[in-house]
Structure 1
Amino acid sequence: MPSSSSARMPSPRSVSPRYRVLLAGVFSQLLCIGVARFAYTPLLPVMQQQTWLSDAQGGWVAALNYAGYMLGALVAASIHSIRLKDSLYRLTLLLAVLSTAGMALADSFWLWASMRFVAGFSSSGAMLLASGLILHWLIQHRQRGELGIHFAGLGLGILVAALAVELMLRVPLGWQAQWWGFTALAAVLLVPAWLWMPRPAKPSEGSGHRHRQAAPPSRTFMRLMLAAYFCAGYGYVISATFIVAIVEREPLLAGAGNWAFALVGLAAAPAVMLWDLVARWMGYLGALITAMALQVVGIVLPALTDSLAGVLLSAVLYGGTFLGCVSLVLTMAGRLYPQSPARLMGRMTLAYGAAQIVAPALTGMLAEATGHYDTGLWLAGGFVALGAVLLAWLRRVDQTAQSLDAEAKVG
């Protein structure tokens, strides 16, 4: 075992364990988000073509996924024991595999709804529990607490989901066979996500990582940050759920939906690490405001143009920003509560998740009523713009925000 001083040196003995832990997080993202969550997005048009699933029903099924995610966030926020969090993380990995298999069992609305709910609960394992466990390990070993590599797994998961559906459509396979294919992939991803995440050690008395006490953020910070993150969640979920269906509805773009979704993942994977660098330059809130402003453009572009170039630019802007927002916010939470990062992560995610329950159902109903998704896209873009304004206000008025920005720049 390397000593605490050697953990700071760039030797293979210190670097290797760091990347092993981060890769465990990457594989948990591929499993719980890429497969259990995002396989539904490219499969939604397939399921609508081959079953009775309508726009409104597809939106409600997606909304229940986020209800499960919110339950997972509540549980993560309420648990104090790091070992219990580790056990729950491993349970969510198993639930991700089981909920993916459950989607293939029958074409029942209530089966699909319940499986999406369970999949949503499982996704909290990769987003919150794995994030907290990784930050705990990094802080314990005195390494830089950045989650860009971990969240790159989410972007890779989107890419894998889109390419897998495109490949299976060429065979061709029906919707049930495609869900079984994703189940086999999930079982493979389970192994490194489970084995490479180290079991947390009991913290020793007076250990170095406990020198910083967790001070609660100001009331102003929490109110504005939660409101802004709610707005970000509303904008995120519309494109995340409906981008393939939106593209496939355009006669000139039919067949390009999965490729647009793959481009979202391709842009998202490296972007999270780039946003870590941007935060070092302009602070967390400056990076967040910039990311959300670009995301507004990415969200509303499909409502402005039906050209292939416009849709692909939308995919790049959306993919390159939404995950950066999540990574930056959850890293901020870890810095505010280094001893128990999942607690504040859970509170932030409840705000993010509340929007994700309302938005898909509302957007699905609007699409069914109007025959297009333009209204939903404009509404989502408006919410994200409002969130950016709230963050700009927060940056000006709150001392907690200013100190976090200064800490990000110092490193």
Structure 2
Amino acid sequence: MHHPGPWRSTVSALFANLVGIGLARFAYSPLIPALVVEGWFEASAAAYLGAANLAGYLAGALSARALGRRLGPALALKVMMGLIAASFLVCAQPAPFAWFFIWRFASGLAGGVIMVLAATLVLPHVPESRRGLAGGLIFMGVGLGAVASATLLPLLLAQGMSFTWIALGLLCLGFTLAAWSGWPEDAVLPASTPAAPLKDSRLRALMVIYALNAFGLVPHMVFLVDFVARGLNQGIGRGAFIWFLFGLGATVGPVILGRLGDHFGFGRVLRGALATQVLVVGLASTTSQIGWLGLSALIMGSFTPGVVPVVLGRVRELLPGDFGAQRTAWSRTTAAFALGQAAGAYGLSWVFATEKAYPPLFALGAVALALALALELVVRRRNVSAPV
């Protein structure tokens, strides 16, 4: 049996999220304008390729457990990281839309598998009192990937589009190899009853809360930079700075929120996180002050991956000790998040195409978050005797 130390495993899982979400998803957003300008794709086709990654992510979240059982989680994670590296390398030349769609879908699928398996493989090997911190470090990879893509892409794109795809592929390959020997053997017996996790009404509610939270993150994740750059005529440079603030928040958010969960309990931190997001997204719908919008980018950036270790911690609180059931519940919860995110991305894009205005998008995001908070408070009142 191969037993790397818990922190070595945590670093491997951090690298996996950096590749799976940080680069596979977030490095694509800044590529969209370049793909259009260089004439590889029309604007609408480039946007659909972004959506292909989200659709793949949902498929990955749903198939992760089966894949983990078939290959073993450690091998599945190695294969998925390798698949993402390949997805960048094979897109280095202009090719038909279908070719790019398949590979963007594949990279999203790999990201969904990584999101479900990496943390649930590593966290059982981390001491109980440090699991929130370790979970935070793992999901910090998402923020690091967003910051890296915001920083590196202008430099890479100056060398040309093909060079950029190859460089990103090699970067992913490097992280794949760095993570390779850090995965622990899986200690979870797959014999856990798959139906068990959904009997608890609090877990079912948590899936809905997480989906609504995902919807509420979309305005900042997808539209804020465009709002600042074009909507407020502040230009691409100011928009890029806003994205940098978002990435900075995404790097520190998971670690801070994971640590708070270790101290105060994840249910309490989840309620605080939802209340804060309602206020921040609500404020963004009513202001065009660049300072406030920059602050909201930093705060919502911190919650975008930061809410992940909080909800994972909540799943572990509701299913203490049963790692198999935790993985089942986490897979379904991640799928709910993917659905909420996809609904937000498509739904709000449609609203934007109709309304041609940004404030309604943030208002709808705030409503989704307020519903999530209301549901969490109702469920908590029903189960007052159970763990807070």
TM-score > 0.5, shorter chain as reference: yes
Shift >6 Å, 4+ stretches: none
Q: 1:40 aligns with which of 20, 24, 28?
A: 28
Q: Is 1:368 matched up with 2:356?
A: no
Say if 2:217 is the partner of 1:233.
Answer: no
* Corresponding pairs, count: 377
- Aligned twin of 2:176: 190
Corresponding residue for residue 145 of structure 1: 131
Q: How do 1:172-191 residues align onto structure 2 when only pairs under 5 Å count?
A: 172-191=158-177
Spell out the pairing of 1:215-226 with structure 2 (5 A cutoff): 216=197, 218-226=199-207
**What residue number does 1:279 align with?**
261
Change in CA separation of 1:114 and 1:241 when aligned onto 2, cut-off 3 Å: farther
The answer on whether the counterparts of 1:82 and 1:133 sit within 8 Å (CA) in structure 2 is no
2:170 match: secondary structure: helix
Q: Distance in 2 between matches of 1:290 and 1:282?
A: 11
| Alignment pair present for 1:92 and 2:75 | no
Residues 172-204 of structure 1: per-residue CA shift (max 9 Å, x gap)? 24444333321221121111122222333687x
Deviation at 1:97, TM superposition (A): 0.8
Alpha-carbon displacement from aligned partner over 1:27-52 (angstroms, at most 9, x marks no partner) = 11111111111101222333344445
2:42 is aligned to 53
C-alpha distance in structure 2 between counterparts of 1:106 and 1:362, whole Å = 30
Distance 2:357 2:99 in 1: 27
2:14, 2:227 → 1: CA distance?
28
Aligned to 2:148: 160
Residue matched to 2:64: 76
Matches within 5 A, 1:248-259: 248-249=229-230, 250-259=232-241
Matching residue of 2:330: 345
Could you tell me which of 177, 185, 194 is aligned with 1:199?
A: 185
1:70–1:353 CA contact under 8 A, matched in 2: yes
Structure 2 runs not aligned, ≥5 long? none
Distance 1:173 1:245 in 2: 25
Residue 80 (structure 1) shift: 6.9
CA distance in 2, matches of 1:283, 1:229: 17
Aligned equivalents of 2:19, 2:152: Cα separation in 1: 14
User: 1:218: how far off?
Assistant: 4.5
Alpha-carbon distance in 1 for matches of 2:37, 2:347: 21
Q: Deviations over 1:310-351 (max 9, x none)?
A: 221121110122222111112222441632232111110111
One-letter identity of the residue aligned with 1:168: L
Following the alignment from structure 2 to structure 1, what is the Cα–Cα distance between the partners of residues 300 and 210? 16
The alignment-based identity, stated in percent, is: 26
How has the CA–CA distance of structure 1 residues 137 and 115 changed in structure 2, closer, same or farther, with 3 Å as cutoff? Answer: same
RMSD: 3.0
Question: Mapping of 1:114-153 within 5 angstroms?
Answer: 114-138=102-126, 144-146=130-132, 147-153=135-141
CA, structure 1 residues 177+324, in 2 after alignment: closer, same or farther (shift >3 Å)?
Answer: same
Cα distance in 1, alignment partners of residues 30 and 227 from structure 2: 11
Cα deviation for residue 301 of structure 1 reads 4.7
Q: Which runs of 5+ in 1 are unaligned?
A: 2-13, 204-209, 406-411
Counterpart secondary structure, 1:275:
helix
Bigger CA drift: 315-324 or 240-249? 240-249
Q: Which of 361, 366, 380 is 1:381 aligned to?
A: 366
SS at 2:30's partner residue?
A: helix
How far 1:360 sits from its partner (Å)? 1.5
In the alignment, structure 1 residue 355 sits paired with structure 2 residue 343: no
